[in-house]
Structure 1
Amino acid sequence: MATAAPPSASRIAVVTGASSGIGAATARRLAAAGYRVVLTARRKDRIEAIAEEINAAGHSAIAYRLDVTDRAAVDEFATAFPAIGVLVNNAGGALGADPVATGNPDDWRAMYETNVLGTLHLTQALLPKLEASGDGTVVIVSSTAGLATYEGGAGYVAAKHGVHVLAETLRLEIVGKPVRVVEIAPGMVKTEEFALNRFGGDREKAAKVYEGVPDPLTADDVADAITWAVTRPSHVNVDLLVVRPRAQASNTKVHREQR
């Protein structure tokens, strides 16, 4: 199926959490596909550098510093653009890998606020513009963690399950309107920061997540899937796309090579 060129009214694509990893890769991919990309994240220097790189490549991007957990800032952001065609809710992340009995409630709260409420804030603020475009798309980057649990992952699983349910419910509630709701659920993705942030900067623990795993997904693999879903013809909605590396059969079944 051919890639559809974005219609003029829908050429602006907002990507949250775009300072690194999947968000940054998605911004690059969407820009190359013809969208004017708005990169948002808390780290202004990072998104400005990526936007500059995209523009230098002959595409179009701008950087906008934004904390998705700050509703007032999100509402202000929504007034900055007259039309928006695509929203990629990517901002999120995991904190800790403790069992329920000893999990840190502050980590649980932070994960819920970023993954779930951050997605809610942006979706609520931009949904009128997406609908007004006549051809809008909401992408929600969830996780296979939102579909099946694993030991030590309850806080993150709960947050991503919330995101998964948000996507399912939104799709039901806006059916008949010119807005698609796409959920992309990645499995094991090796990025420069995800596992490192989860383990509080402990590089040894972060490295063990991927130890022996042949070819985990890259951020660009997921960005490719997101861009593919966004660029399907307008009548085609990719409800849920689960993307895993070949070495991963489930959240708890991963092939690891002996060294």
Structure 2
Amino acid sequence: MKDLIPKAGRAWSKVRWSLAQRGFAGTMKTALVRLRRKDTASDAKPRLHPFDVRYGVDTSGLIGGGDLRTGHKNDVFNTAYYGMAPSRFRQSIADWLSDRSHAAVADCSFIDLGCGKGRAIMLASEFPFRQVIGVELNPSLATIAKDNVTAWTAAGRGMCPVQVVCQDATEFVFPDGPCLLYLFNPFAAPVVKRLIESIRTEFATRPGKLDLIYFNPEAGHLLDTDEGFELRWTGSIPMSDEDTAADYVASADDLCSFYRWVGSRQNG
């Protein structure tokens, strides 16, 4: 009987998350699909990505947003955890570096909001950023990310300092100097909206000092319609054969958008 209470709590948490993400109709449709087909891809045992085998880290697996509970008010807006394909990430950074209109990479702080197990921040540390910061709300994922970074750094793979902060993304205080912000669709539109408000405040007098790489930009319309952001590029980035074979979530049509904070008119 005691076990039923925690199970009921977990089930209700998943329902609340689904209602926030999908609405009532979407929640009912998803439930019916799962009843008809129990062996879905999301329920299958996660495959171990070659990245983990090669470097001795733990970044594989798919964790649904309903299972990423922390007790925080923003839990219902979590999307899911899934590691970015390394080939796509490296190409996105290479494309960003090819644009010489931003600050020098050595002066830029790379920030991953919703860093999960830390695959992206490890990959980012292969580039000579000023520093790399991963921000993760879920304590369990943050701990895994810290362990991964420790192993990665000890093996001498990073070119710059890396740290993981267990914190809500909307409460993160950006470091001084130019920043490159990275989002792999970590949370839904309500949190993205609050993040934009935070950026508007922190970068009011720093136009051109924040670039944003946004994979699977489900809330990209909020940036597209905000006068403070300029869309620099949007399109798909191909995956390597290795990533294609190992990745059962990503699609060849997934979008990636690059934005730059140019400053809102009311801030001059």
Instruction: State the TM-score bracket (shorter-chain normalisation).
Output: 0.3 to 0.5
- What TM-score results when the alignment is normalised by the length of structure 2? 0.42
Query: Larger RCO: Structure 1 or Structure 2 (Cα < 8 Å, ≥ 6 residues apart)?
Result: 1
- What TM-score results when the alignment is normalised by the length of structure 1? 0.43
Larger radius of gyration: 2
